Structure 1
Amino acid sequence: MMYKDDKPIVGITMGDPASIGPEIAVKALLNPAIYELCKPILVGDAHVFADIVARLNLNAVIRPVKSVQDAQYQLGTIDVYDLNNVDIDQLRFGEISAMAGEAAFAAVKTVIELALADEIDATVTGPINKKSINEAGHHFAGHTEIYAHYTNTKKYGMLLVEDQMKVIHVSTHVSLRQACDLVKKDRILEVIELLHNGLISLGETNLKIGVAGLNPHAGDSGLFGTEDDQEILPAVDEAKRRGFDVEGPVPADTLFAKAATGYYGGIVAMYHDQGHIPFKLTGFKWNAEKKQMDSVKGVNITMGLPIIRTSVDHGTAFEIAGKGVASADAMVLAIESAVQLAKYRRKSLLTV
């Protein structure tokens, strides 16, 4: 889409209606800075958003629309691409249900379709509950897999971004046993390239990439496993031959300590928790006295797609849903990242 006035249209999904998803979406769109950056439109059930506005006494008006063209993008009046698929009388905060899963899934599928049709310039997703999605009959491990399926994308990766910490994964939603089996040279090379391209599209200038070892001490020359020498090192060597600024395998306990200082522009993690744990230590701030999060920051970007997708990198937080205490920090950052990616894509198209 060649959008006018340099403001991309950003579609933002509701997430699970029984979660904090609707709350953080509305709170993010009460931030005037968002309307300076883009034209935001929520995608989901308008009744769910209206209920959260009334329940939390938020200073907003929900405006249902049936097409993107009908949106007005005015601060204080929030446009919702209304799917009208939630029975608000049956909805219970913090509960897993097929109804909530179906509504969350429909919002994701719709926003993908809108992006593929060039009706919107970028997509941002709220948190979903994987069990609810599966109870609704949609057997996907998460957002990343849904997007890959409906965009027919074979090579993709999950990139997490928060300040100086930028982490992409060789594998994500699989068992630890499967994750070890997926540490292969070709996949690691693929992910290095995805990360390199992601750093450029985010406007980063530090393109140095650190690749984590799989085993303790990166295998210690085969003493603690062979994957580091047989799969990761050959991938790093080949990446260097292709011109990437990359080093590894580096023992993970050393790698992430250096990454936190900005030494690396980005990190390749071998599996989900290897990347997520240090990342969330950076962006998630727990208040022990209040027994709640003061701030939940971090953006999840799916690299390799033909469309732009960013997301909050936290879960549904069922335990605080509907209580008005959820932080919209991550949603704001996800929208900002989507805008950056949309502007980079537009610039790239104009220079072709």
Structure 2
Amino acid sequence: MTHKIAILGASGYTGAELVRLIAGHPNMDIVALSGERKAGMKMAEVFPHLRHMTLPTLCKIDEIDFSGVDLCFCALPHKTSQEVIRDLPGGLKIVDLSADFRLRDPADYQKWYGNPHAALAQQDEAVYGLSEFYRDEIRAARLVAGTGCNAATGQFALRPLISAGVIDLDDIILDLKCAVSGAGRSLKENLLHAELSEGYNAYAVGGTHRHLGEFDQEFSALAGRPVRVQFTPHLIPANRGILATVYVKGDAQVINETLAEAYGGEPFVEVLPFGQAPSTHDVRGSNFVHIGVSADRIEGRAIVIAALDNLTKGSSGQALQNANLMLGEEETLGLMMAPLFP
């Protein structure tokens, strides 16, 4: 069976990544692509690397006939996404890549994103889209909220450890480096090559990054009590990739064994041999996550490092993984491509 797919916001990085991934999916056919500012343009004009594909011309959202669509990916900006999704047909399956439905409590959404939630009915039915941990809920869902790419990376490193109770929940430090594509495709002065290249800086210092809302929500639910991690993201002059270095108190060997057992049957998560550290190079352009554990020189402390591609496993690849579950397809379909190297 071929599923008819629409992508809203196809002129952004995650939209283009979805098109690239769906090109390798045998059971999906893209029938509509929206790009409000680039409506009327061909995808080959916006993204020349997709010129070999036969794709619909970009259009405005109100020009799409959703009656012929089985599933819609929504790769729109925060706030815009909830307003659009609120007005989409009620029976349409949706995978949202924005932050608009990630936080279950609307008050948390307003706290972290600065505006009241505009689609409360849809929020009530939304399922958090971290595929490896919410499979059953995602299979039955109509609306799935993709995670933040930073939030996903930290959760892959920490969720099994919190669930198993093998680390000190009051002493978790998450130091994260993320590539520039995570900031989106809109022009921003600080992301110009001359201002970004050859530099490396922390941002959202002191606990202001929006993905902390996801960490607070998910880790506290796992532990059954409040869990607050110390989190600082850094912007690096790279196009793709996230590397999270997590400092925890606990037995490093036990931590490694816990992660290896938790992810033993997962097709996209690789736990490296003890003492090895992953690199963003090794997951680039793929839907894989690599996790490594090392003992610290200070007894009773360990270092957990996780790497993924922010545009693939951190966003569009995760979205396709969720769509496969929602449509009854094999979860790995269209996603087993090897990473790019070098």
Greater percentage in helix: 1
Name the TM-score, length of structure 1 as normaliser.
Answer: 0.36
Name the TM-score, length of structure 2 as normaliser.
Answer: 0.37
Higher RCO (C-alpha under 8 Å, 6+ residues apart): 1
